[in-house]
């Protein structure tokens, strides 16, 4: 019988695994470092703003001089990071994009570490890192000065710390508590960058409550809130968990608005803070003018409506940046999600959680009334898509069926290499070189 405090860890462990595999920390570091240095290649090209950088760069400059608000429909963390980079490195194209590059590398590391501590599967963890690194989306969002990588990078750090708290490899309650605190901190920073990950914020707290309830079966219900000696994190009561996973993220989020209190024109105040959140929501819903590259959730899933971040003659050559998902892995992940759902309903809770997170994130945009949506809104959901693919391929690999993972990696890397010039603003040989990459008319 599994002790109550081990319930979640036991259920997260892959079937048939009798002992923990060797931690692939070195592989995680190599993959993340290699990815980061590749992102830095040509990071300053184009030398002028591309796509939505035209909105966030002026807003970041106003955070430097604190004269007035710009881009008020979004929180400040992402813009503040760009502003600090401008001050430290310089108001140049490399300086604008450097924070996204850093968070892209750190976020990739955190994603891998999160899956490792949740699954204890070495093969799935390494596959996951390689799949995200070659999925096109994470790479391109690490190379542009907009808010999404700050949102996703901090969310990845939160997921890592959350998985560490549940697993608690040290066995020491104070260490698990620290991981819960860091989970709340990073969730607040993610929300303070952009609201896209808001649906993931309640999940750690809800899962904590559910697992505590399961651990207390047959005992007094009154222990649910105050008990400390049961799973999922022994030593931490549900009341304390609500503080770290519910109250702390909100406090961090509202604290990120502190620079706005010092604007010369129309500074924010405590009394205006809640009203400002409502105003931000109104501004986001007010954008109704159709955009050339707007798309819908089902087009994201089918990978048929990308965005041209750039296509023009600039910096001495014809260059382009096509915001597209990897044509193979973005589709291969869909049946993997169904495998995860099937395994999840048969008792593998990590698989079910990955499937549910994907459905939650995509479903939100399916029912959201926001009239103008873009493919990059799929970034967080696509991480869970690739986690599903990694878990399925990793299980097959461990069972000796290795050719599906090998074929997947060959295709993923082959497509990444083939598309690399159009992902990284490389020199293109012709003015109409976009035809070499736009296999579908909807990609043009």
Q: What is the pLDDT of residue 287?
A: 73
3-state secondary structure of 319: strand
3-state secondary structure of 300: helix
The overall average pLDDT reported for the chain is: 90
Q: Under a CB-based contact definition with an 8 Å cutoff, are residues 35 and 139 in contact?
A: yes
Residue 232, preceding peptide bond in cis (omega within 30° of 0): yes
Inform me whether the pLDDT recorded for 405 exceeds 70. yes
Residue 317's beta-bridge partner residues? Answer: 314
Inform me whether the pLDDT recorded for 305 exceeds 70. yes
Tell the residue number behind the tokens 């999600």, with chain if given. Answer: 337
Q: What is the pLDDT of residue 225?
A: 62
Percent of the chain with pLDDT over 70: 92
* 223 vs 324, more confident: 324
Q: What is the pLDDT of residue 19?
A: 52
**Mean pLDDT, to the nearest integer, of 97-118?**
98
In this structure, what token pair is assigned to residue 426? 């490389």
Inform me whether the pLDDT recorded for 97 exceeds 70. yes
Distance between CA 135 and CA 108 in Å, rounded? 12
Long-range contacts of 278-285 (CB under 8 A, 24+ apart): 279/72, 280/72, 280/73, 280/74, 280/75, 283/72, 283/73, 284/73, 284/74, 284/195, 284/370, 285/369, 285/370, 285/371
3-state secondary structure of 424: coil
**Mean pLDDT, to the nearest integer, of 154-161?**
97
Inform me whether the pLDDT recorded for 241 exceeds 70. yes
pLDDT tens-digit readout, 60-85: 999 999 998 888 999 999 999 999 99
Q: What is the pLDDT of residue 253?
A: 97
Inform me whether the pLDDT recorded for 228 exceeds 90. no
Exposed/middle/buried for 171, CB within 10 Å: 0-12, 13-18, 19+?
Answer: exposed
Inform me whether the pLDDT recorded for 87 exceeds 80. yes
Distances (CA, A) of 266 to 72, 79, 250, 260, 276: 12, 18, 24, 9, 12
**Mean pLDDT, to the nearest integer, of 296-318?**
95
**Mean pLDDT, to the nearest integer, of 311-336?**
96
pLDDT tens-digit readout, 348-396: 999 999 999 999 999 998 887 677 788 999 999 999 999 999 999 999 9
Residue 313, H or E segment: strand 307-314
Q: Under a CB-based contact definition with an 8 Å cutoff, are residues 167 and 228 in contact?
A: no
Q: What is the pLDDT of residue 313?
A: 96
pTM of the model: 0.92
Q: Which of 129-138, 199-208, 214-223, 435-444 has the lowest mean pLDDT?
A: 214-223
Distance between CA 282 and CA 277 in Å, rounded? 9
* 411 vs 290, more confident: 411
In this structure, what token pair is assigned to residue 169? 């490899």
pLDDT tens-digit readout, 1-51: 333 333 444 444 433 333 568 999 999 999 999 999 999 999 999 999 999
Q: What is the pLDDT of residue 317?
A: 95
Q: What is the pLDDT of residue 431?
A: 94
Distances (CA, A) of 63 to 71, 262, 437: 11, 9, 39
Distance between CA 28 and CA 390 in Å, rounded? 14
Phi, psi of 232, rounded to the nearest 5 degrees? -85, -20
Q: What is the pLDDT of residue 221?
A: 58
Q: What is the pLDDT of residue 362?
A: 95
Instruction: Mention every residue, 6+ apart, whose C-beta is less than 8 A from residue 328.
Output: 408, 411, 412, 415
3-state secondary structure of 46: coil
Inform me whether the pLDDT recorded for 224 exceeds 70. no
Residues 305, 300, 127: CA angle, nearest 5 degrees: 120
In this structure, what token pair is assigned to residue 354? 């990955």
């Amino acid at each position: 019988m599994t002790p109550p405090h081990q319930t979640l860890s036991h259920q997260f462990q892959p079937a048939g695994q009798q002992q923990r595999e060797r931690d692939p920390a070195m592989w995680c570091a190599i993959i993340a470092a290699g990815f980061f240095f590749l992102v830095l290649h040509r990071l300053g090209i184009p030398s002028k703003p591309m796509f939505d950088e035209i909105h966030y760069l002026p807003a970041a400059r106003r955070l430097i001089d604190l004269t007035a608000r710009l881009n008020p429909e979004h929180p400040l963390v992402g813009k503040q990071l760009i502003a600090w980079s401008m001050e430290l490195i310089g108001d140049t194209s490399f300086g604008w994009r450097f924070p996204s590059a850093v968070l892209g590398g750190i976020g990739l590391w955190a994603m891998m570490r999160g899956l490792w501590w949740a699954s204890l599967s070495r093969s799935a963890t390494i596959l996951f890192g390689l799949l995200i690194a070659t999925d096109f989306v994470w790479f391109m969002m690490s190379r542009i000065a907009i808010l999404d990588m700050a949102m996703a990078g901090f969310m990845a750090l939160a997921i890592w710390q959350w998985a560490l708290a549940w697993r608690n490899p040290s066995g020491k309650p104070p260490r698990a508590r620290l991981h819960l605190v860091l989970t709340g901190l990073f969730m607040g920073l993610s929300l303070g960058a952009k609201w896209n990950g808001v649906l993931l914020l309640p999940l750690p707290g809800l899962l904590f409550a559910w697992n505590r309830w399961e651990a207390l079966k047959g005992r007094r219900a009154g222990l649910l809130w105050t008990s400390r000696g049961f799973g999922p994190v022994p030593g931490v009561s549900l009341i304390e968990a609500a503080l770290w996973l519910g109250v702390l993220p909100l406090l961090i989020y509202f604290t990120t608005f502190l620079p706005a209190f010092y604007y010369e024109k129309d500074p924010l105040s405590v009394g205006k803070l809640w009203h400002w959140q409502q105003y931000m929501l109104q501004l986001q819903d007010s954008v109704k003018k159709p955009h050339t590259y707007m798309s819908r959730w089902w087009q994201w899933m089918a990978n048929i409506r990308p965005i041209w971040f750039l296509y023009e003659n600039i910096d001495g050559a014809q260059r382009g940046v096509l915001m597209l998902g990897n044509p193979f892995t973005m589709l291969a992940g869909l049946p993997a999600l169904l495998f995860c759902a099937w395994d999840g309903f048969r008792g593998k809770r990590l698989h079910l959680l990955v499937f549910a997170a994907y459905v939650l994130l995509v479903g939100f945009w399916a029912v959201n009334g926001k009239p103008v949506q873009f493919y990059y809104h799929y970034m967080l959901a696509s991480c869970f898509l690739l986690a599903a693919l990694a878990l399925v391929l990793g299980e097959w690999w461990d069972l000796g069926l290795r050719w599906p993972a090998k074929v997947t990696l060959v295709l993923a890397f082959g497509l990444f290499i083939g598309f690399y010039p159009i992902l990284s603003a490389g020199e293109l040989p012709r003015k109409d070189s976009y035809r070499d990459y736009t296999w579908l008319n909807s990609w043009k």
